Structure 1
Amino acid sequence: MDSKGLWVLVVVGCAVAMLPVASVGAVADAGATGAMVQEDEEPVEREELDEADEVHIDVSLTENGSATFGVDYRYFLENENNTEAEWDELTNDIEADPEAFAAAEMDDWDEIRADGQNATDREMNLSNATISIDESTAPRHIGHVQFTFEWSSFAHVELTEITAGDALPGFTLVDGTTLQITGPEDYAVHDHEPTADNTEPNAVYWDGAGTEFNDDQPRVVFIENGDSGAEVTEPDEGPPTTWLAVAAALGLLATGAMIGWWLRHGRSDGPDPGGDVTASPSPPEGSSNNAAGPPPELLSNEERVLRLLEERGGRIKQQEVVAELDWTEAKTSQVVGSLREGDEIEVFRIGRENVLSLPEEDEE
């Protein structure tokens, strides 16, 4: 073993690439169990104890891309590997100097953070490390050493889409280890790789017993639900069909306006009919109803969004773009992001929804 900065990670008797269980595994004497110590540091004297039987890693994302990591090292007590007496020795060691255990864990994970920062070019930091001890008795007697910390910029955020996993290049799971990544509240799993052992509406779970990650894995994409109707509908406002009636009425008005514009500008064989239709707003040049404009299939995705914005008077909710163009939320988010980066549109939020708008022109 190269003694310069190399850490040996031992989980359930197996080496775990990049899985930093060593410092809690270091409850055993370094020479007897292979627990890691750095070349220039003296090992901490601790009573010998077999490695954890299981390691469960739970990653909880926030909307800004940061994450809270919870690492649960589990010791099955009263079996042939671990006894209550050995568990008591471990807990006494941790209680005597919890900061040392937390600092050792933080050093291990900081190596993974450095690799993730190099792979993603995102500035990342670890903070708020804590370590605690607990026991559970049902359905079996288990000792828990729980390590938690915060990881900033862990995931990539693009408007209402969060992609996680790229900060764990080369991450490996073995038998006895699990990984769960949970999205923020009001976000749902849109896509994930590889196939998960279990999925929830906003969480993906892999078990090392049957999961292997490739170079670009794990990967999970979360999309904001965008369903805020329950918050804006009051109990005494009547049934939801009221909104449908309003939408239908607005659609009829828009249709009338389009017909009036065509009668005034699209016909060359008759006079301007005048009358009330002249008061209707004419659609902007380049809209899908303009006879001179190209059909939608000849437009780029960005041009289709811009045309839809013009048809709606320069402002539209992102969810309406999804419905109008029959796109996925992920595709819509990508196209909107491209337009926003090119300063062709502006994006702001009303409640929990994104609203797109054309940039305001300077008044003369």
Structure 2
Amino acid sequence: MNFRIVCLVVLVVGATVVGTGPIATGTDDGVETGSLSAQLDEVDADDVRLDVALQSDGSAEWTVEFWVQLDDEESTAAFESLEAEIEEDPDAFLEEFATRMDGTVQAASDATDREMAADEFQVSTQRQSFGPEYGVVRYSFHWDGFADVEGDELRAGDAIEGLYLDDGTQLLVSWPDEYELTSAAPEPDDQRDRTVIWHGSETDFVTGEPRVVVSSGGVGIGTTAGVLVAIASIGLGTAWWYRSRSSGRADSSDESAEVPSSPPEEDERRDERPNPRDDLLSNEEQVLLLLEEYDGRMKQQTVVEELEWTDAKTSKVVSGLREEDKLESFRLGRENVLSLPDDE
């Protein structure tokens, strides 16, 4: 792996999500966009993940991740150089990405006759260890108007109809807590809690695919009672969080200390503590409350298992909390460990 990964990340993304019916085989500037796999060979990515998180207003939070295995000194050194470049000047990496995505979203808007816009572009890097160690280049942005809202239904997929996935690429589409899956085409290769997944090695999208339809069934959008309950629950969770943090807690032990693999006994927990597995809480509150349940320290994989989230979603939420200084992370052996910051 080398620095060309950055130059081609943007090219791959721009070529991947063109939403003008079946994916085009070329662009005005002559760049071939039909062969994603050929471009990925140049990027040297072992795995590419397109994570689309649908929102109740029809928008979507897009995350595009390029995973490169750090299996030798050369690949590790190259990724470290890339990390330093992105940290020093992230705007330099985002400019072309944003330009391409703006064009892509406009093309999708024209094809679907639906108003769309892209904003909130971000780029970051991270290391992940799930057995082998990987370097991850992560681009994210907000796609307004991605899904069509019809009553209590969200209909997604027309903006990326005919999307081509090569063997090392997977598409994940998730939806809000208050929705339930109505239909998905083609049949997902894998399905998790509020997420359907297609693998390029198993699925080829044709005209009219992919499609995901989810419905709130009258419980989510448009139901005042449901909204009020959600707001009340989140408010209680937030109030508890600030109260518990302001009251202080015991200092964290040394980073080499054993990380708990299970939460303390039930009678040791505070009775008023909200359940972090409550879907009415925000993603951030769930992680922070789960950390409190584990006495302020746990493995990142524990979040995946306890909350039944995807690795990509967990990584995204954890990264956001870390950037806001609401939690800290460090490596212990091959594991990523999360901890609550010490109160000064």
TM-score (norm 1): 0.49
Bigger CA radius of gyration: 1
Which residue in the other structure is 1:19 paired with? Answer: 16
Tell me how far apart the structure 1 counterparts of residues 61 and 99 of structure 2 sit (CA, whole Å): 16
Is the CA contact (8 Å cut-off) linking 2:164 and 2:204 kept in structure 1? Answer: yes
1:129 aligned onto 2:121: yes
Correspondence 1:29-48 to 2 at 5 A: none
Deviation at residue 171 of structure 1 after TM alignment:
1.5
Report what 1:52 is aligned to: 45
CA shift in 2, pair 1:100/1:9, >3 Å: closer
Give the 3 Å change call, closer, same or farther, for CA 17–68 of structure 1 in structure 2.
Answer: closer
Q: Deviations over 1:67-120 (max 9, x none)?
A: 10011111100159x621111121122222211212222223223212211111
Counterparts of 1:141-156 in structure 2 under 5 Å?
Answer: 141-156=133-148
Cα distance in 2 for partners of 1:226, 1:114 equals 32
Rounded to whole Å, the distance in 2 between the matches of 1:79 and 1:178 is 25
Percent identity over the alignment is: 34
Q: Which runs of 5+ in 2 are unaligned?
A: 1-6, 18-26, 31-41, 228-344
Q: Which has the higher contact order (CA 8 A, sep 6+)?
A: 2
Q: How does 1:270-349 map to 2 (within 5 A)?
A: none
Q: Which amino acid aligns with 1:69?
A: W
Runs (5+) with no aligned partner, structure 1: 1-7, 21-35, 40-48, 233-364
Q: Deviations over 1:21-56 (max 9, x none)?
A: xxxxxxxxxxxxxxx9x89xxxxxxxxx95322110
2: CA distance, partners of 1:50 / 1:70? 17
Q: Which residue of 2 aligns with 1:98?
A: 90
Distance 1:9 1:231, change over 3 A: closer
- Which residue pairs with 2:56 in the alignment? 63
The alpha carbon displacement at 1:175 in A equals: 0.9
> RMSD of the alignment, in Å?
3.4
Question: Residue 165 of structure 2: which of 151, 169, 173 is its match?
Answer: 173
Normalising by structure 2, report the TM-score.
0.52
Q: Verify: 1:139 aligned to 2:131, yes or no.
A: yes
| 2:210 matches 1:218 | yes
Q: Residue type matched to 1:75 in 2?
A: V
Query: For residue 189 of structure 1, what is the aligned residue in structure 2?
Result: 181
The residue aligned with 2:68 is: 75
3-state DSSP of counterpart to 2:97: helix
Distance between the aligned counterparts of 1:150 and 1:17, measured in 2? 15
1:117-149 superposed Cα distances (whole Å, 9 cap, x missing partner): 111101110000011111012321101111110
The answer as to 2:196 corresponding to 1:199 is no
Aligned residues: 198
- Supply the distance in 1 between the matched residues of 2:14 and 2:187 (Cα, whole angstroms): 20
Aligned equivalents of 1:160, 1:185: Cα separation in 2: 13
Where does residue 235 of structure 2 map in the other structure?
none
